[in-house]
């Protein structure tokens, strides 16, 4: 009897400590999904009012797409995106768009708001271009998840409500984004997901159910292999390794080089029993800008970081330069702002995205996720990088609309010693053409001059390069293009 009491007492202590530790983390480690959902609340509401509502039921999903992809490309479309942002997405390389979000009412299991899901034109627009549209269901915080996961009636209410919302708008499935689930509710989370998948698929055959899952399962709340077996796929949020409240500046999404990094995350998932074909890596189209004490790498932060989108960070790099961090495989910028404050920006660029795409391909994952659509601000180069990574034709055969660069080809590929680069300009531009390795180091400077509108052929001598994968980076003031190529030298 005494031993049983001791075991029970120890279990209570462990549960208490698990709750306490996670509550401490929950209070400071707020992920980007939750952070921006709160930050843009008022802005999002005003944007929704500006949109021309689409009140009719959206058209069915177009079954065929123009471009065959080797991986899924899943993007969260936030309700606060500008009212026309969705019109600039490259739907040829997007397979899933998830509307963010249904915000859970923890009192009933229904919703506080669906942020315009009932009238958004995004669903019809995406369906007509062969892209599946999901509804993201969010529930943030330890207390909120406790309220839902311990109450079966609330769960049933949520599942019924979500199913009706999907049917009313021809939705193709659900993405559950439950963040800060505490250890005592590990089994409850599995039971809820099993109940949701069974009920939704019974009503909507073919519906896809996915979960946004953490880069690091800090206290063991996620039974990842079981959840992967229930869901169609898991989308691991491969960011927030350094977050807005971090004590130092640092890589938001390090591939290597930190105690916790993207490579370790994927290996942890796979070694735990998650099949690679049920796992997707979400990548950040954002970074963080920290006030810091000095210009030293990973300097101590003097305040909370603010999120910056890819185009904003790239613009800063043009003025202040950037360093590609060899250890973590991502770039960072050091600067002093107009008030004299030292600042450090860590983010992902076209080179680091390519490193992540190679990791996805090498581990044969199901695909990638994107946080968040609209953060590319219409820049074609970020979409072209995805096309290059996950299609057999890459950039070479793609001409969907008038562009400054109508085509760029590299032949032969793989390269043995010599290759030729062909491209066309539709207007005069200063062109910078170089070869970089996967660490971001420039190895060949092929061109840097103003060219007139014409067809061009540039010779490239790779005889002194080691065998391996390289990037041909084509840069103008109108944007960038990146083409992968392989060198095979003896």
**Cα 61 from Cα 171, distance rounded (Å):** 9
167 vs 487, which has greater pLDDT?
167
Q: Into how many domains does the chain fold?
A: 2
Within a domain: residue 3?
no
29 vs 328, which has greater pLDDT?
328
Within a domain: residue 206?
yes
Q: Model confidence at 332, in pLDDT bands (50, 70, 90)?
A: very high
Mind listing the pLDDT tens digit for each residue in 252-284? 999 999 999 999 999 999 999 999 999 999 999
Q: Do β-strands 418-425 and 233-237 pair in parallel, antiparallel, or remain unpaired?
A: unpaired
Question: Has this prediction a pTM greater than 0.85?
Answer: no
Question: What's 340's domain CATH number?
Answer: 3.20.20.80
- Judge if 358 and 418 occupy the same domain: no
- Which of 383, 413, 439 terminates a domain? The answer is 383
Q: What local confidence, expressed as pLDDT, does residue 397 receive? A: 39
Mean pLDDT of 281-290: 98
Within a domain: residue 321?
yes
Tokens linked to 156 = 């049933």
Nearest residue to 171 (alpha-carbon basis) of 234, 235, 101: 101
- Judge if 47 and 120 occupy the same domain: yes
- Judge if 121 and 94 occupy the same domain: yes
424 vs 312, which has greater pLDDT?
312
Q: Model confidence at 23, in pLDDT bands (50, 70, 90)?
A: very low
Task: Give, in order, the Cα–Cα distances in Å from 192 to each of 35, 134, 196, 226.
Answer: 25, 19, 6, 12
- Judge if 418 and 377 occupy the same domain: no
User: Which of 26-40, 302-316, 358-372 has the lowest average pLDDT?
Assistant: 26-40
Q: What is the DSSP letter of 71?
A: S
Within a domain: residue 397?
no
Within a domain: residue 243?
yes
User: Which of 353-357, 405-409, 460-464 has the lowest average pLDDT?
Assistant: 405-409
Within a domain: residue 81?
yes
Within a domain: residue 2?
no
Within a domain: residue 421?
yes
Give the contacts of 108 (CB within 8 A, at least 6 positions apart). Answer: 154, 157
- Judge if 318 and 408 occupy the same domain: no
Q: Cis peptide before 167, with omega less than 30 degrees from 0?
A: no
Domain extent at residue 423: 402-487
Task: Give, in order, the Cα–Cα distances in Å from 208 to each of 194, 232, 336.
Answer: 13, 6, 47
Question: What's 429's domain CATH number?
Answer: 2.60.40.1930
Mind listing the pLDDT tens digit for each residue in 63-104? 877 788 999 999 999 999 999 999 999 999 999 999 999 999
Does 2 have pLDDT greater than 60?
A: no
- Judge if 172 and 295 occupy the same domain: yes
Q: What local confidence, expressed as pLDDT, does residue 212 receive? A: 98
- Judge if 408 and 373 occupy the same domain: no
Alpha-carbon dihedral angle through residues 464, 466, 467, 472, given to the nearest 10 degrees: -70
Per the prediction, the chain carries an average pLDDT of 88
Does 31 have pLDDT greater than 70?
A: yes
- Judge if 455 and 378 occupy the same domain: no
Q: What local confidence, expressed as pLDDT, does residue 393 receive? A: 53
Does 285 have pLDDT greater than 60?
A: yes
- Judge if 375 and 423 occupy the same domain: no
User: Which of 147-156, 344-353, 384-393 has the lowest average pLDDT?
Assistant: 384-393
Mean pLDDT of 316-332: 90
- Judge if 87 and 158 occupy the same domain: yes
Strands across the sheet containing 323-325? 306-309, 286-291, 342-346, 330-336, 323-325
Mind listing the pLDDT tens digit for each residue in 424-483? 888 888 888 999 887 778 899 999 898 998 888 888 999 889 888 888 988 887 777 788
Give the burial string for 177-208 (b: 16+ CB within 10 Å, else e): bbbbbbbbbbebbbebbebbbebbbeebeebb
Please report how many Cα atoms fall inside a 13 Å half-sphere around the Cα of residue 81, on the Cβ side: 28
333 vs 420, which has greater pLDDT?
333
Task: Rank 1-5, 36-40, 298-302, 398-402 by mean pLDDT and report only the highest.
Answer: 298-302
- Which of 383, 415, 431 terminates a domain? The answer is 383
List beta partners, residue 291: 343
- Judge if 31 and 107 occupy the same domain: yes
User: Which of 226-240, 291-305, 451-465 has the lowest average pLDDT?
Assistant: 451-465
Q: What local confidence, expressed as pLDDT, does residue 71 receive? A: 96
Radius of gyration of the chain (CA): 24
Q: What local confidence, expressed as pLDDT, does residue 407 receive? A: 63
450 vs 123, which has greater pLDDT?
123
- Judge if 376 and 416 occupy the same domain: no
Q: What local confidence, expressed as pLDDT, does residue 13 receive? A: 40
């Amino acid at each position: 009897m005494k031993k049983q009491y001791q075991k029970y007492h120890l279990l209570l202590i462990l549960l208490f400590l698990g709750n306490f530790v996670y509550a401490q983390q929950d209070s400071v480690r707020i992920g980007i999904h939750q952070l921006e959902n709160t930050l843009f609340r008022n802005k999002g509401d005003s944007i929704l009012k500006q949109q021309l509502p689409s009140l009719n039921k959206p058209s069915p999903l177009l079954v065929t797409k123009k471009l065959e992809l080797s991986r899924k490309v899943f993007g969260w479309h936030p309700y606060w995106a500008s009212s026309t942002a969705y019109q600039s997405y490259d739907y040829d390389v997007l397979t899933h768009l998830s509307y963010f979000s249904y915000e859970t009412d923890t009192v009933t299991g229904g919703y506080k708001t669906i942020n315009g899901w009932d009238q958004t034109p995004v669903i019809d627009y995406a369906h007509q271009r062969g892209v599946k549209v999901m509804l993201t269901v969010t529930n943030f915080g330890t207390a909120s998840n406790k309220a839902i996961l311990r109450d079966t009636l609330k769960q049933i209410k949520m599942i019924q409500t979500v199913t009706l919302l999907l049917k009313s708008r021809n939705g193709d499935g659900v993405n559950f984004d439950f963040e800060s689930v505490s250890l005592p509710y590990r089994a409850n989370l599995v039971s809820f997901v099993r109940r949701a998948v069974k009920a939704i698929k019974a009503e909507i055959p073919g519906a896809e159910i996915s979960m946004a899952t953490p880069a690091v399962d800090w206290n063991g709340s996620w039974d990842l292999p079981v959840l992967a077996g229930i869901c169609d796929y898991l989308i691991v949020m491969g960011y927030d390794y350094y977050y807005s409240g971090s004590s130092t500046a640092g890589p938001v999404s390090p591939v290597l080089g930190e105690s916790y990094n993207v490579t370790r995350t994927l290996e942890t998932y796979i070694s735990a029993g998650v099949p690679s074909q049920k796992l997707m890596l979400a990548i950040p189209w954002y970074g963080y800008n920290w006030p810091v004490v000095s210009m030293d790498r990973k300097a101590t932060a003097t305040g909370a970081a603010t999120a910056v989108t890819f185009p904003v960070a790239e613009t800063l790099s043009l003025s202040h330069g950037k360093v590609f961090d060899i250890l973590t495989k991502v770039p960072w910028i050091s600067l002093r702002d107009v008030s004299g404050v030292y600042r450090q920006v860590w983010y992902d660029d076209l080179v680091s995205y390519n490193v992540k795409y190679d990791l996805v391909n090498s581990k044969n994952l199901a695909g990638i996720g994107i946080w968040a659509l609209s953060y590319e601000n219409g820049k074609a180069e970020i979409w072209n990088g995805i096309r290059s990574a996950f299609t057999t034709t890459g950039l070479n055969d793609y001409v969907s609309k008038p562009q400054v660069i109508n085509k760029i080809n590299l032949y032969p590929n793989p390269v043995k010693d010599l290759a030729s680069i062909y491209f066309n300009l539709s207007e005069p531009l200063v062109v910078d053409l170089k070869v970089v390795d996967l660490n971001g180091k420039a190895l060949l400077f092929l061109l840097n001059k103003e060219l007139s509108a014409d067809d061009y052929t540039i010779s490239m001598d790779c005889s002194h390069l080691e065998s391996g994968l390289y990037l041909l980076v084509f840069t103008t003031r109108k944007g960038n293009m990146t083409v992968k190529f392989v060198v095979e030298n003896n």
